[in-house]
Amino acid sequence: MKPFAAAALALAAASAFSQDVPAPIVQALAKADAGVAKIIAVKDSERTFDNTLGALDKILSDLDRDTSLFVFMQFVSTNAAERDAARAADEAISNWTIELGKREDLYKAIKAYADTNPRLEGEQARLLMFTMRDYRRAGMNLPAEKRAELTELQKNLNKLEIEFGQNIAEDETRVALMSAELKGVPQETLQRHLKIGEMYLIRLDGSTYSSIMENCSNAATREKCWVMYRRRGGQRNVRVLEKILKMRYQEAKMLGYDNVVDYQIETRMAKNAATVKKFYDDLIPIVKKKADADFEEFNAIKRKDTKDPKAVLNPWDYAYYKRMLEKTKYKVDGEKVREYFSMEDCMKGLFSITASLYGIEYKDVTSQAASLGLPIWHPEVTLYEVVDKKTGETLGHIYTDLYPREDKYSHAACWGLRGRRVNEDGTVDKPLCALVCNFAKPSADKPSLLPHDEVETLFHEFGHALHGVLTQVHYGRFSGTAVARDFVEAPSQMMENWVWDPKVLATFAKHYKTGAPIPASLLDGMNAARTLGSGLETEGQLFLGLMDQAFHLAPEGSVDTTKVANQIYETYTHYKAVPGTMFQAAFTHLTGYQGAYYGYLWSLVYAQDMFQRFEQLGVLSPETGAYYRQKVLAKGGSEDEMQMLREYLGREPSMDAFYRHLGLKK
């Protein structure tokens, strides 16, 4: 179980564990099996929505409700045995779910109901459509021998995808550099690497690479590392990737699609390759306009720094000069900024802003957790009840677990642990989410002070939690964040805007010692620096997304990936391709996304578009919040996302807000 991550490797994980399936999980699966048997036993002539599809939704919702906390413990428990048991549970449930999707008897039962052509509306119609679509996508309507062939192909594909990832993880690329060549690189970066005399053997992991790119004043060193970073995975992985692309094409063909992209994104908001192409065609000139301006700004500082009036920015100069611009031109000192963001003030601010916007209340119910049947796995964990202010109804619960500790999940994420479901007897199962983060701990003389980007992370993750808790759907399948993958980040990305708004910050950003509000001049600098380089950076995103599209749209899946990647790089970025590099060989997202990498920019564009309404009507306006809650958050995945967006906006979606987000003025 991962927060909003593809279940791509679920098959591969099978049989990785030898541990027995924990008893509560055995029980939950037995209950689910009994439920499935009951659906199958219904006579075809007596099938109804409730005894077939509704019953299946209930089984899956209950299974999630009964097991998700147990499984979640692998990421947060302080007890090693509990974490192991959680992993074993995770594997058992994944395997059960995969098997369920292949059960012919269940497929026949549901198809028998579908064949009665029932007149359904709203969520029920959508649930039937989605279920039949998923069966078709899994090849359930193919003849038996074709299906066997497909399964074989998918198994081999899975193996190759694991190999691709492994080759990246185990990459041995080292760069030999003398101390003198590493000027400016912090000691804490260097000390992680082998030193022989005056020579370092630098292993190019992500954080080392960024540290060198940002800090090393020697351009030749940056160039060397940039090139070597783009050689990871090597020709070996280029071959693996090109094999994968051919097999993915075969898979899509067998399932009746023209290409991999159409197959992969059928279930997403964009729906097909043609829509993605149109999206990029509209976006490219906007991004280029900002990137042109960025390029000038960066060339100017490079010329000044190198005293060469003809110097031109190279890709390995970007991060270095961005740092320099931040310090010299925008004068934003991150350490100063964080003094205005104590954890306590940030949480208070976040709660009071969202409570007023969405008409809700938060109650700390940590001390009552046991009576609610909810565990508190560590003293730093807090449990909140979310209550609707108007009706007094409990909407759901949110856990927070904010500080790092040993053996805990090491990033920031929001887990949707339980969804909402209205049961046939009228009772309502309520949602439960958990915010798991790793913010700086308070010390003896200082409270926890968040760097501004972590305040942004806090608001982002809380955006997911509200999406999960404020849902009003009927069926578990559509609860909260169960939306199309290319929409799931939009509500959370939208929330990030609040931490940049002076009116919002005035409500909670106060100096932790003096209580003074954050100075306007500091905030101006932060906002000016927010869009520094946004055009060039978005061009980097365009390159990745367009490369992903080109690879997965290639006829027969046959493509010279290095040649195509370099062409795209030269066409859509401000830089020249460097011979001998093969960035795609270490681009792990090519296995996770396969034609869906565009989703990152897609959801950002729509997040900014949705935010426009708040910009115009007030970022703290309860009416605007109530409208958004009703038109977007409440709906979860129960409606077509594009239609939902249109209805919320009251017009066609537009890129105008994204245009301004990049820092362009109209």
Residues that bind Zn ion (CB under 5 A): 492
3-class state of residue 399 by DSSP: strand
| CA-based max dimension of the chain | 84
Rounded to the nearest whole angstrom, what is the least distance from the CB of residue 265 to Zn ion in the complex? 19
To Zn ion, the closest distance from the beta carbon of 438 in angstroms equals: 15
For strands 432-436 and 394-401, give the pairing. parallel
Phi/psi-derived region of residue 426, left when phi > 0, alpha when psi is between -120 and 50, beta in every other case = left
- Least gap, CB of 316 to Zn ion (angstroms): 29
| Min separation Cβ 458 and Zn ion, Å | 12
The token pair at 581 is 């590099």
Kindly tell me the burial class for residue 663, based on how many C-beta atoms sit within 10 Å of its own C-beta (0-12, 13-18, 19 or more): middle
CA distance 233 to 508: 47
Q: Which is nearer to Zn ion, 494 or 644 (CB)?
A: 494
Residue 510 carries which DSSP code?
Answer: B
Q: Which is nearer to Zn ion, 202 or 607 (CB)?
A: 607
Which helix (H) or strand (E) segment is 428 a member of?
strand 428-429
- Is 492 or 584 the residue whose CB approaches Zn ion more closely? 492
Tokens at 556, concatenated: 């027969």
In single-letter form, the type of residue at position 503 comes to K
Instruction: Establish how many alpha carbons lie within 13 A of residue 160's alpha carbon, considering only the half-sphere containing its beta carbon.
Output: 21
Spatial separation of the C-alpha atoms in residues 548 and 265, rounded to whole Å: 13
Which residue of this chain has its Cβ atom nearest to Zn ion in the complex?
492
Residue closer to Zn ion by CB (options 492, 594) is 492
Strand 382-388, strand 394-401: pairing: antiparallel
Q: Which stretches of 312-357 are assigned E, i.e. beta strand? A: none
- How far the first Cα of the chain sits from its last, in Å, is 44
Residue 70 vs 487, nearer CB to Zn ion: 487
3-state secondary structure of 401: strand
Task: Return the SS3 of 317.
Answer: helix
Would you give the distance in Å from CA 505 to the centre of its chain? Answer: 26
Contact present, 587 and 568 (Cβ < 8 Å): no
Q: Specify the residue for token string 């399964």.
A: 151
Report, in Å, the least distance between residue 66 CB and Zn ion. 26
- Distances from the Cα of 223 to the Cα of 216, 340, 555, 580, 633, angstroms: 10, 38, 35, 13, 46
CB of residue 499 vs Zn ion: minimum separation in angstroms?
15
Please, which residue, 554 or 607, has the CB nearer to Zn ion?
607
Amino acid type, 266? E
**Token pair for residue 261?**
């992209």
Residue-by-residue DSSP string for 557-576: G---HHHHHHHHHHHHSSS-
Nearest-approach distance from CB 488 to Zn ion, in angstroms: 7
Whole-angstrom distance, CA of residue 238 vs CA of residue 563: 11
Residues identified as active-site:
461
Strand 382-388 with 413-418, pairing: unpaired
Give me the least distance between CB of 269 and Zn ion, in Å please.
16
Q: Which is nearer to Zn ion, 237 or 471 (CB)?
A: 471
Nearer to Zn ion, 52 or 492 (CB): 492
Residue 464 CB, shortest distance to Zn ion, in Å, is: 6
Q: At what angle do helices 23-41 and 55-76 cross, to 10 degrees?
A: 170
CA-based angle 549:647:475, to the nearest 5?
A: 80
| Residue type, position 230, single letter | R
Nearer to Zn ion by C-beta: 68 or 492?
492
Q: Which is nearer to Zn ion, 419 or 599 (CB)?
A: 599
Q: Select from 158, 335, 117 the least CA-distant residue to 244.
A: 158
Q: Are 30 and 22 in contact (CB under 8 A)?
A: no
**CA–CA distance, 548 with 594 (Å, rounded to integer):** 7
CB of 501 to Zn ion, least distance (A): 20
Question: Count of alpha carbons within 13 Å of 657, Cβ hemisphere only?
Answer: 22
Which residue's CB is nearer to Zn ion, number 221 or number 608? Answer: 608
